[in-house]
Amino acid sequence: MRIRDLAVAAVLLTAAGCGSVSSTSTATTTPSTTPTTPTTTAQSTTPSTTQPLTGNLTVLAAASLTGTFTKIGKDFQAAHPGLKITFSFGASSTLAQQIIQGAPADVFASAAPTNMKQVSDAGDVSGTPTTFVRNQLVIAVPKGNPKHLTTLADLTKPTVKVVECAAQVPCGAAAAKALAAANVKLTPVSLEADVKSTLAKLTLGEADAALVYRTDALSVSDKADGVEFPESAQAVNDYPIATLSHSSNATAAQAFVAFVQSAPEQAVLTAAGFQKP
């Protein structure tokens, strides 16, 4: 009996020892779950930082951006189906004055820093404008270049009818710089309000040559050729873009400006003949 009692006592002591190990194990595992809590919370908040873009967005852009921005606008709306985007294209000088006079708009893309500065000086730009592309002049001629025009000096021939942008328009200011660099003076048959109307004079057969941007000549490559000339390097235009301070949809405006500078949309612009800044 004494031996049996001793055996029972040994079993009881062993059971007690196992119980103490079990409770210690539970205590040590509890703190290990604590560090996972902040990580889970941070991850759960990530989706809330992405807000869908809705409402209306109005973009005023240089006439030379018509084709590319129309494409970029479609891409932007496809990414944000709750948003409606409206473009107004025209001479940058005209658009700048419209903004200064209070025209409702959210984004301005200019064909020259001068016009953007006018808007900025009037207090209508939010933040700092960003140059997103550059553009360069060519001599646009009818397909096949029937009069064999290769230089700016060729445009002074009495039998050649030339059309230019008006001096206050960015393409007109660029043409003036290029002509000065070449020491050439022209007597154009027409001075147009923007680059699109200047090009139209050529494609309609009303001129033999037009000083327009490379991108514009490429846009009508089935009807016209673009003749490169060295003096155009003296008149390269930087294109700045900015959100406007009186925007009624600032979030969408900022998103569009960033979208224009994204790699896929920059590819759209360079494919059209624009240069990287």
Tell me the mean pLDDT in the region 150-166: 97
pLDDT bucket at 268, cuts 50 / 70 / 90: very high
What is the pLDDT at residue 4?
41
Model confidence pLDDT, tens digit, residues 83-100? 999 999 999 999 999 999
Kindly report the pTM of this predicted structure: 0.80
Residue 7 has pLDDT above 50, yes or no: no
The C-alpha atoms of residue 131 and residue 263 are separated, in whole angstroms, by 15
**Residue 128 — left, alpha, or beta (φ > 0 → left; ψ -120 to 50 → alpha)?**
beta
Over residues 136-146, mean pLDDT? 98
Judge contact between 76 and 223, C-beta under 8 A. no
Task: Give the residue extent of every domain in the chain.
Answer: 53-134+238-271, 137-235
Look at residue 95 and give its three-state secondary structure.
helix
Residue 189, pLDDT > 50, answer: yes
Q: β-pairing, 209-213 with 137-142?
A: antiparallel
- Around 77, how many Cα atoms within 13 Å sit in the side-chain half-sphere? 15
Q: Estimate to the nearest angstrom the gap between the alpha carbon of 124 and the chain centroid.
A: 19
CA-closest candidate to residue 51, choices 246, 248, 255: 255
The predicted structure's pLDDT at residue 38: 36
Q: Which one is the CATH code of 137-235: 3.40.30.10, 3.40.190.10, 3.40.605.10, 3.40.50.2300? A: 3.40.190.10
CATH topology agreement for domains 53-134+238-271 and 137-235: yes
Q: What is the CATH code of the structural domain delimited by 53-134+238-271?
A: 3.40.190.10
Is residue 46's pLDDT more than 60?
A: no
